[in-house]
Amino acid sequence: MTANDNINALVDIALNLKQQIENRDIEKLNMLFDENARINIYGRFYTMKVFLSNLQSLLGAIEQPGFDISSVDESEIGAEKAFIALSLEIFWIDRKIWDEVSQLATLSLELERDYKKESNNWVISGFTLARNKKVIEKQDVPIFPNDKRQPTFLDGIFNFWY
């Protein structure tokens, strides 16, 4: 197997993860993970059991969940272990307001060979999801949502449009 084949295999696991979330198939999603996988979402650690239970509750409360992979930020592939970090845009329809919500995030997956199933396929042994701040481009100056700068005169007049 070439290095590209390995990277493709890791991206395929992320795409399979995406498909199972979009299909709301918790059983197939669980099969992608090692039974002792470490789960870290926004700095909180979960067991697989709690993670899957919380995910099932979340999927029951939203519509059209999904994510798009915008880039592979980092990868490291060994014979027994691998790592991949992906930039994502996560999106869903909020049932309370029936509007699309999106969040930029980084998904990092640690993987290891699964010899228990005698397939030598990769399984997820570590899952980390971290939020990224959205940068709003305005007058060629990046402005972050918590920026305390005062708007210019024209921004104040026309801010109801955007």
How many CB atoms are located within 10 Å of the residue 30 CB?
16
**Measured CA distances, 89 to 117, 139, 148 (Å):** 32, 24, 26
**Mean pLDDT lowest among 10-19, 87-96, 127-136, 138-147:** 138-147
Per-residue pLDDT averaged across 92-101, rounded? 85
The CA distance from 19 to 6, in Å, is: 20
Residue 98 has pLDDT above 80, yes or no: yes
The CA distance from 18 to 160, in Å, is: 36
pTM: predicted TM-score of the whole model, two decimal places: 0.75
Longest dimension (CA), the chain: 67
- What is the residue extent of each domain of the chain? 3-134
Span 38-90, pLDDT tens digits: 999 999 999 999 999 999 988 888 889 888 899 999 999 998 999 999 999 98
Residue 11 has pLDDT above 80, yes or no: yes
CATH T-level topology, domain 3-134: Nuclear Transport Factor 2; Chain: A, (3.10.450)
The CA distance from 105 to 14, in Å, is: 14
Span 99-138, pLDDT tens digits: 888 889 999 999 998 877 656 689 999 999 999 876 555 4
C-beta of residue 138 within 8 angstroms of C-beta of residue 130: no
